[in-house]
């Protein structure tokens, strides 16, 4: 993609798929969750003729639902360029997927081992490691450390030298976010992976803020674990993914135990055989419709950004189509972020966190205004019909690292359906909120 015309999105066409547009909402809180297009919500109802449980019935309906459910894993695997569906497990969200990583590694830690994470993490990629090292393993008499790498408070960049200095031959895992949901910085994942490979540690990525605007190729990235949530990339709530290298999933213990995660008939009082991958990680009745709709959300994303039709087809997903779609989304949302940064720079006393330029930023901007509570700002924005978020966005460590008091900021975040008008409405509403004092 060399010409920027190739990167343009057809905004009127995109926006025609979303009910929030008709409702007149200015949705600029997309880093929390994006809005679902009508076609995806309707899909739940269109699946009703085959509504049945999976792997649990001899009806044609059950067989059809099982096919749709299982092929959803192929779609997700293709999206990530994973070698097969056996590398893809689904959970409720990124948080649960990251917990699954923690539980699957729990038995691997010996006295004196450590895990390295960063101060940029969402709590979902810090608290599990804190709990493992400060609460769970100590109860088994094991002393294991959790180390946190610093970031540059001005640029928001992860301090790779500091991270490397925390890593040693006892580091079992390096885990970091692909993009910060507060500073907006993207992590140089190839550099972190190199540090992990040199030390022989595993490498996990929290992709919750990265996947919505990037085509992540798990084989090119050579990541051991990657987690993300579909509700940040058009799908309705309820489904998150854990990608992991097949050998890791084969070797580790399951996360949850019960029905369907065992091989058919292979349970005796003294012997249990687990199901083949990925069903070893699907204990109990899964979010069947959620998984089907979430995988279709990926196809919907392609349809929104290009001329071809993938939604509700079985057309294989070509790599170049995924890359082109994500390049367009990244380009568009970067333009909106640049516009927001320019307008915010005009507001007196306003401090934006993270990189000053939109380049290399994920499409969100968190800020504070001297002497004004970010909650007052966000409430004021809402009064003017602009949706934002105030708080620490679960990036508590990063707010603490900046010594913010209170530990809070106001955040605007954009997705493919946002317009320059949305940005202008948000920034002019902010000016109006502030001029009222």
Q: Which residues are catalytic?
A: 394
* The binder of ligand PMP chosen from 15, 17, 85, 122 (CB under 6 A): 122
Q: Which is nearer to ligand PMP, 341 or 394 (CB)?
A: 394
Backbone angles phi, psi at 167, to 5 degrees: -90, 135
Residues that contact ligand PMP, how many (by CB under 6 A): 14
90 binds ligand PMP (CB under 6 A): no
Stretch that binds ligand PMP, among 117-125, 129-137, 282-290, 405-413 (CB under 6 A): 117-125
206 binds ligand PMP (CB under 6 A): yes
Q: Which is nearer to ligand PMP, 32 or 61 (CB)?
A: 32
The footprint of ligand PMP on residues 124-143 (CB under 6 A) is: 124-125
b/e map of 93-106 (b: 16 or more CB within 10 Å)? bbbbbbbbbbbbbb
3-state SS of the chain is CCCHHHHCCCHHHHHCCCHHHHCCCEECECCCCCCCCHHHHHHHHHCHHHCCCCCCCCCHHHHHHHHHHHHHHHHHHHHHCCCCHHHEEEECCHHHHHHHHHHHHHHHCCCCCEEEEECCCCHHHCHHHHHHHHHHHHHCCCCCEEEEECECCCCCCECHHHHHHHCCCCEEEEEEECECCCCCEECCHHHHHHHHHHHCCEEEEECCCCCCCCCCCHHHHCCCEEEEEHHHCCCCCCCEEEEECHHHHHHCCCCCCCCCCEEEEEEECCEEEECCCCHHHCCCCCCHHHHHHHHHHHHHHHHHHCCCCCCCCCCCCCHHHHHHHHHHHHHHHHHHHHHHHHHHHCCCCEEECCCCCCCCECCEEEEEECCECHHHHHHHHHHCCEECEEECCCCHHHHHHCCCCCCCEEEEECCCCCCHHHHHHHHHHHHHHHHCC
For the CB of residue 247, give the shortest distance to ligand PMP in the complex, in Å: 25
* The binder of ligand PMP chosen from 26, 29, 229, 294 (CB under 6 A): 229
240 binds ligand PMP (CB under 6 A): yes
Stretch that binds ligand PMP, among 90-98, 146-154, 265-273, 301-309 (CB under 6 A): 90-98
Stretch that binds ligand PMP, among 80-88, 89-97, 375-383, 407-415 (CB under 6 A): 89-97
181 binds ligand PMP (CB under 6 A): yes
Q: Which is nearer to ligand PMP, 230 or 417 (CB)?
A: 230
Q: Which is nearer to ligand PMP, 185 or 335 (CB)?
A: 185
* The binder of ligand PMP chosen from 28, 177, 199, 368 (CB under 6 A): 177
242 binds ligand PMP (CB under 6 A): no
Half-sphere exposure of 151 (CA within 13 A, CB side): 32
For the CB of residue 326, give the shortest distance to ligand PMP in the complex, in Å: 17
Q: Which is nearer to ligand PMP, 124 or 199 (CB)?
A: 124
Q: Which is nearer to ligand PMP, 310 or 353 (CB)?
A: 353
99 binds ligand PMP (CB under 6 A): no
Q: Which is nearer to ligand PMP, 240 or 354 (CB)?
A: 240
For the CB of residue 148, give the shortest distance to ligand PMP in the complex, in Å: 15
100 binds ligand PMP (CB under 6 A): no
208 binds ligand PMP (CB under 6 A): yes
117 binds ligand PMP (CB under 6 A): no
* The binder of ligand PMP chosen from 94, 185, 296, 368 (CB under 6 A): 94
Cβ distance 423 to 429 under 8 Å?
A: no
Binding site for ligand PMP (CB under 6 A): 93-95, 122, 124-125, 177, 181, 206, 208-209, 229, 240, 394
């Amino acid at each position: 993609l060399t010409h920027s015309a190739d990167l343009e999105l057809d905004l009127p066409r995109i926006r025609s798929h979303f009910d929030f547009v008709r409702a007149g909402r200015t949705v600029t809180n997309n880093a929390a969750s994006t809005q679902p297009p009508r076609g995806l919500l309707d899909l739940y109802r269109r699946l009703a003729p085959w509504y049945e449980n999976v792997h649990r019935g001899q009806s044609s309906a059950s067989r059809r639902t099982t096919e749709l459910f299982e092929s959803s894993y192929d779609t997700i695997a293709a999206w990530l360029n994973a070698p097969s569906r056996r590398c893809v497990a689904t959970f409720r969200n990124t948080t649960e997927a990251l917990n699954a990583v923690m539980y699957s590694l729990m038995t691997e830690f010996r006295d004196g081992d450590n895990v390295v994470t960063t101060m940029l993490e969402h709590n979902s990629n810090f608290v599990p490691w804190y709990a493992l090292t400060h609460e769970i393993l100590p109860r088994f008499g094991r002393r294991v450390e959790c180390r946190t790498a610093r970031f540059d408070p001005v640029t928001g960049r992860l301090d790779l030298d500091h991270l490397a200095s925390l890593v040693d031959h006892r580091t079992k895992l390096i885990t970091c976010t692909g993009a910060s949901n507060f500073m907006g910085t993207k992590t140089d994942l190839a550099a972190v992976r190199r540090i992990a490979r040199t030390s022989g540690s595993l490498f996990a990525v929290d992709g919750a803020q990265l996947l919505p605007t990037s085509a992540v190729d798990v084989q090119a990235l050579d990541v051991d674990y990657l987690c993300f949530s579909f509700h940040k990339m058009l799908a309705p709530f309820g489904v998150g993914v854990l990608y992991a290298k097949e050998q890791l999933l084969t070797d580790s213990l399951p996360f949850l135990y019960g029905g369907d995660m065992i091989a058919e008939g292979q349970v005796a009082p003294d012997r249990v055989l687990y199901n083949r991958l990925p069903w070893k990680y699907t204990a109990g009745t899964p979010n069947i419709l959620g998984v089907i709709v979430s995988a279709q959300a990926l196809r919907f994303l392609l349809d929104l950004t290009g001329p071809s039709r993938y939604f509700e087809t079985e057309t294989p997903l070509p790599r170049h189509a995924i890359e082109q779609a994500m390049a367009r989304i990244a380009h568009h949302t970067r333009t909106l972020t640049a516009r927001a940064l320019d307008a915010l720079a005009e507001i007196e006393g306003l401090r934006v966190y993270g990189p000053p330029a939109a380049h290399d930023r994920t499409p969100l901007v968190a800020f504070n205004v001297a002497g004004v509570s970010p909650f007052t700002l966000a409430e004021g924005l809402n009064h003017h019909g602009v949706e934002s978020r105030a708080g620490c966005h679960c990036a508590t460590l990063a707010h603490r690292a900046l010594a913010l008091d209170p530990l809070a900021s106001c955040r605007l975040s954009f997705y493919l359906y946002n317009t320059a008008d949305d940005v202008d409405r948000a920034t002019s509403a902010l000016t109006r909120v502030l001029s009222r004092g």
